[in-house]
Structure 1
Amino acid sequence: MNKTWGDFNNIWVIDYEFNGSDRGNNQNPICYAGKNLITNEIVTHWIDGTETSSLYSTDDDTLIVAFFSSAEMGCHIPLDFKIPLYIFDLYTEFRNLTNGLKLGVKDDLI
């Protein structure tokens, strides 16, 4: 079923910080932050190993917004957080708009 922005009770913009793991390809989440665009609620959390669920909703009435969301969902996996049903990936949209264009910016940190 297709939904529009107005169909969601929560729209969370989230971002995780993480580093690589020496146990293969698993990410090691360090912290996350999120803002609910409907309620203006803000959450920030340092990962301490006692988490049982995220501080933001991931139910079927929630849209998660992230830039390169596979990284955020890659943090959900080792934390055993529910993977949301609805995800809006801004990276995908950015690439859709810019593929084939010379942007004049570098895509690395150096």
Structure 2
Amino acid sequence: MESILIDFEEYIIKIGVNAFYSSRKPYEKTGQFLLSAWLYQFVERGKGELRFEPFTGLGRIDILLIYKGRKYIIETKINRSTGVRIIEKAIDQLCHKYLLTERVNEGYVVAFDVTVHGYRFTVNG
């Protein structure tokens, strides 16, 4: 999954970044849409399943990819400040809500960072 997200980061930096710069206040949903579209290549022809904001017992997962029988849980955030609080919040949410209820050992946080020129993606597994 790390290499898939790194490829996505390169795609966003080269092409997809325009979706964020089209307005002065980019939205997390824009990033979720772009990431979901990127991940869709892994569910074509019944190879997997992609769910957008599925409900779990403790909330809604942003993106759930099931590929070759394995679950990949992705929490997305948009960082509008220079602090790391939003990332810490996402990690806490991922670990204490989604990984627990889905019985998965690792998850990923994708942070769209508008405080720098371009975007940084924080991946935690």
TM-score above 0.5, yes or no: no
TM-score (normalizing by structure 2): 0.27
Q: Which of the two has greater strand per residue?
A: 1
Between Structure 1 and Structure 2, whose CA radius of gyration is higher?
A: 1
Q: Which of the two has greater helix per residue?
A: 2
Task: Between the two structures, name the one with larger relative contact order (CA 8 Å, sep ≥ 6).
Answer: 1
